Chains A and B, each alone.
Chain A
Amino acid sequence: MNARESTELLVPIEGESGIVNARSLARNIARELGFGMVDQSRIATAVSELTRNIVRYASGGRGEVVIREVAGPADQPGVEIVVSDEGPGIADIEFAMREGVSSSTGLGMGLPGTRRLMDEMKIESGAGRGTVITIRKWRRQSGK
């Protein structure tokens, strides 16, 4: 069981092209892991939202994405994606997670929307500390 090769991929983000790049790689890995069309779309969209936040808010629009295969609580296959940057950070995480909260011209849908699309989401950040957001999705067993 543990002999199965596990996937891990690092995608640097630098400007807008990074968004397209990261989300299509995330979709490919999700497909390889056996996620269905809707989950592939959820995962790619979540990555699109989080990487756009990097391009928009982090210094120089720079950051990175790590996509890896992980086992879920019931040992089901899953994907974990860590999106990080060394930008200004988010001072009030709870506030930023609220629907409609945006410091730019956005709709403020990115973070709360991502939470709904994924099974787990953790934000580590603070003013001046950069931002690390970890999201996870588990494959449903029955669907195969």
Chain B
Amino acid sequence: MARVPIIRIGDMLIASVQEDINDREATDLQDELFQLLERTGAMGVILDVSLLQLIDSFLGRMLREVALGARLLGAQTVVVGIQPAVAVTLVELGLELTGVRTALNSDKGLRLLRQLMARTRTGNWSWNERSRKH
């Protein structure tokens, strides 16, 4: 049904966003991720956007909502592979993706996600988050 398959590996969900995703598919992906998080109790999400040649305000907002929403469901999210041209455009557009963790590629993303998940488990995470707000 959805054009974005979500793969589950252990307690992680991995979704690769395809090149020309439209608004409906983006919303579907978001819904499905939240459902899967609830159903599986997964604690980490990798959103691979390396195929995306464009992140506009709609997709940018979706990435932010996934990251913030997943956190409420007890999971950490890392967005991986934002293309350089897309990053420049996002900044000029005024979307800084505050609160969204990013990594250059999926290797680095996985490593970061594992660290974040480990911190969540040991409880150090909340200290880290709170101290960042000030």
Seen from chain A, the residues whose Cβ lies within 8 Å of a Cβ on chain B are: 16-17, 19-20, 23-24, 27, 37-38, 40-42, 44-45, 48-49, 52, 99, 106-107, 109-110, 112-113, 116-117
Q: What would be 29 A-B contacts, judged by CB atoms less than 8 Å apart? A: A16-B23, A17-B22, A20-B20, A20-B22, A23-B54, A27-B53, A27-B54, A37-B85, A38-B84, A38-B89, A40-B85, A41-B85, A41-B86, A41-B88, A41-B89, A42-B88, A45-B55, A45-B93, A48-B56, A49-B93, A106-B57, A107-B61, A107-B95, A109-B57, A109-B94, A110-B57, A113-B95, A116-B92, A116-B94
Distance in angstroms between the alpha carbons of A112 and B92 in the assembled complex: 10
Report, nearest first, the 7 A-B pairs whose CB atoms are least far apart.
A113-B93, A41-B85, A48-B56, A37-B85, A38-B85, A41-B89, A109-B57
Q: Please indicate the chain B residues that have their CB under 8 angstroms from the CB of A41 in the complex.
A: 53-54, 83, 85-86, 88-89
Shortest Cβ distance from B90 into A: residue:
A45
B-side binding surface: helix, strand, loop or mixed? helix
Q: Please indicate the chain B residues that have their CB under 8 angstroms from the CB of A23 in the complex.
A: 54
Q: Please indicate the chain A residues that have their CB under 8 angstroms from the CB of B83 in the complex.
A: 41
Q: Which of B53, B84, B88, B95 lies in contact with A109, CB distance below 8 A?
A: B95
Interface size on B, residues (CB 8 A): 21
Q: Please indicate the chain A residues that have their CB under 8 angstroms from the CB of B125 in the complex.
A: none
Q: Which of B53, B57, B86, B89 lies in contact with A107, CB distance below 8 A?
A: B57
Interface string of B1-34 (1 = CB under 8 A from A): 0000000000000000000101110000000000
